Chains A and B, each alone.
Chain A
Amino acid sequence: MSKIPAYYGFWHHLGSWLLKTSSWLVLLFLILPILVIIPLSFNVEPFFSFTEGMLTLQPEAFSLRWYEAIFSDTKWTLAIKNSFLIGIFATLIATVLGTCAAVGLARDDMPARRLITALLLSPMIVPLIITAAGMFFFYSDLGLAGNYLGVIIAHAALGTPFVIITVTATLTGFDYSLARAALNLGATPLRVFFDIIMPLIRPGVISGALFAFITSFDEVVVILFMAGPQQRTIPRQMFSGLREQINPSILAIATLLILVSIALLVTIELLRRRAERLRGVERID
Chain B
Amino acid sequence: MSSLTTLEAGQAANARNKKRLTAFLFVVPLLVFILITFVAPIASMLWRSVHHPIVAELIPQTLSELQRWDGKSTPDRQTLQTFAVELHKLNAERLSGKLAEEFNRAYTGMSSVVKASARRVGRLSESQLQAEGAETLLKAHKNWEKPQLWFAIQRAGQVYTYDYYLTALDLEIHPEQGIQVREDTQIYVQLYTKTLNMALVITLLCALLGYPLAYYLSGLPENRANLLMVLVLLPFWTSLLVRTTAWIALLQTNGVINSFLLGIGVIGQPYEMLYTSFATVVAMTHILLPFMILPLYSVMRGIDPSYLRAAMSLGAKPLPAFARIYFPMTLPGLSAGALLVFIISVGYYITPALVGGTDGQMISNIIAFHMQRSNNWELAAALGSLLLGLILLLYWVYDRFVGASNIKLG
Q: Do residues A257 and B216 form an inter-chain contact, with CB atoms below 8 A?
A: no
Do B354 and A239 touch across chains, with their CB atoms under 8 A apart? yes
Q: Is the CB of B29 within 8 A of A49?
A: no
Do the beta carbons of A47 and B354 come within 8 Å of each other? no
| B24/A110 in contact, CB under 8 A | yes
Return B265 CB to nearest CB of chain A, in Å.
Answer: 16
Shortest CB-to-CB span from B261 to chain A, Å, is: 12
On whether A137 and B33 interact (CB within 8 A), knowing A31-B234, A126-B388, the answer reads no
Contact with B along A13-57 (1 / 0, CB 8 A): 001000110110011011101101100100000011110000000
A178 within 8 A of partner (CB):
no
Q: Which of chain B's residues have a CB closer than 8 A to the CB of A154?
A: 37
From B175-183, B184-192, B237-245, the one touching the partner chain is B237-245
Given A26-B212, A40-B249, A133-B384, A239 contacting B241 (CB threshold 8 A) = yes
Inside 8 A of B252's CB, which chain A residues have their CB?
48-49
Chain A residues whose C-beta falls within 8 Å of the C-beta of B25 in the assembled complex: 104
Contacting residue for B407 out of A165, A261, A269, CB 8 A: A165
Q: Are A22 and B248 within 8 A (Cβ)?
A: no
Give every chain A residue within 8 A of B38 (Cβ-Cβ).
122-123, 131, 135, 157
Residues of B within 8 A of A110 (CB): 20, 23-24, 27
**In the complex the two chains form, is B26's CB within 8 Å of A104's CB?**
yes
Tell whether A238 is near chain B: CB-to-CB under 8 Å.
yes
From 140 to 191 in chain A, residues with beta carbon under 8 angstroms from any chain B beta carbon are 141, 153-154, 156-157, 160, 162, 164-166, 168
The total of chain A residues at the interface (CB under 8 A) is: 96
A-binding segment of B137-145, B146-154, B364-372: B364-372
- Contact call A242/B247, Cβ cutoff below 8 A: no
Contact with A36, one of B33, B42, B256, B318 (Cβ below 8 angstroms): B256
B9 located at the interface, meaning its Cβ lies under 8 Å from any Cβ of chain A in the complex: no
CB proximity to A under 8 Å, residues B356-410: 364, 367-368, 371-372, 377, 380-381, 384, 387-388, 391, 395, 398-399, 404-405, 407, 409-410
Let me know if B246 and A221 touch, CB within 8 A: no
Chain A residues lying within 8 Å of B255, measured Cβ to Cβ, are 48-49
The 8 Å CB contact of B42, one of A103, A131, A160, A166, is: A131
Q: Which of A64-72, A211-219, A277-285 contacts B (4 or more CB under 8 A)?
A: A211-219
Q: Which residue of the partner chain A has the closest CB to B216?
A: A23
**Partner pick for A129 among B20, B29, B384, CB 8 A cutoff:** B384
**Inter-chain contacts of A92 with B (CB < 8 A):** none
Q: How far apart are B41's CB and chain A's nearest CB, in angstroms? A: 4
- Enumerate the 9 nearest inter-chain pairs by beta-carbon distance, A residue then B residue, closest first: A127-B347, A104-B26, A1-B219, A134-B41, A138-B41, A23-B216, A101-B30, A134-B45, A33-B246
A-B contact pairs, 10 of them (CB 8 A): A34-B234, A103-B26, A104-B23, A119-B31, A129-B368, A130-B45, A130-B367, A134-B42, A153-B37, A239-B354
